Amino acid sequence: MTTITDERTRQDIHDDLENRLANKILPAIDAIMHKFMGVEIQEIGSDITTKLTKNPLLGFAIATHLPYRQAKTRFRKEYLERLLLQKFGNISEVSRIARIDRRSIHRFIITARINVKKMREEMMKPEYIKEIAIGKAVKEALSDYETILHPEKIRKLYEDIPSISRDILKELPDEPIPLHEAEAEFERAYFQTLLQEKKKVADIARHAKLRYEVVHRKLKKLGII
């Protein structure tokens, strides 16, 4: 796929996200902590925002049960489908953000049999998956404090996670990263997960159906080993 120039860099998007988290989301989380606990626990809010800023593929499922090439193909399809939904089938917008040419987008639409006209009419938004991913990040952050927080109060916090997630989602910038950067993040998540599961490079290579030296080179390039 041919890359094209985009006026917003990855750093711009990251800085925008960090600013929103610091100025809007973090105070909101602190207020929620005060509501349930009677005091503010700033470390929880910071932990939640850290998990969100370190997850550029928020809401994407990495299919580590599949060999590498099949998992990457599925990821690329999900990325472009979600971007088309988010931009209501606007090919020019998808091309600009993904940094791939319009012809590649059209080929993908034909191959994946996507009805862009119907998509525009229905005005679908793939926000539910993001909300679930945000909820997971919030729950993971809260779990670190289970031993120091009152059980009843932590239970109430867990019950309120869906509404907390919706509030956070409202403030998150919806500008996704370009496809080539998304694929790089996919590789990192894919191989990090397999390394935790398989432990050995040879076992990862066998599962991913790649040569040992290819996997070893990728792991070194990604800074995983």
The pLDDT of residue 206 is 94
Which pLDDT tens digit goes with each residue over 11-36? Answer: 555 565 566 666 666 777 777 667 66
Confidence (pTM):
0.57
**Residue range 167-193: average pLDDT?**
79
> How far apart are alpha carbons 96 and 73 in whole angstroms?
21
Q: DSSP secondary-structure letter at 149? A: S
> How far apart are alpha carbons 25 and 17 in whole angstroms?
10
**Residue range 38-53: average pLDDT?**
68
Average pLDDT, the chain: 77
As beta bridge partners, residue 100 has: 3
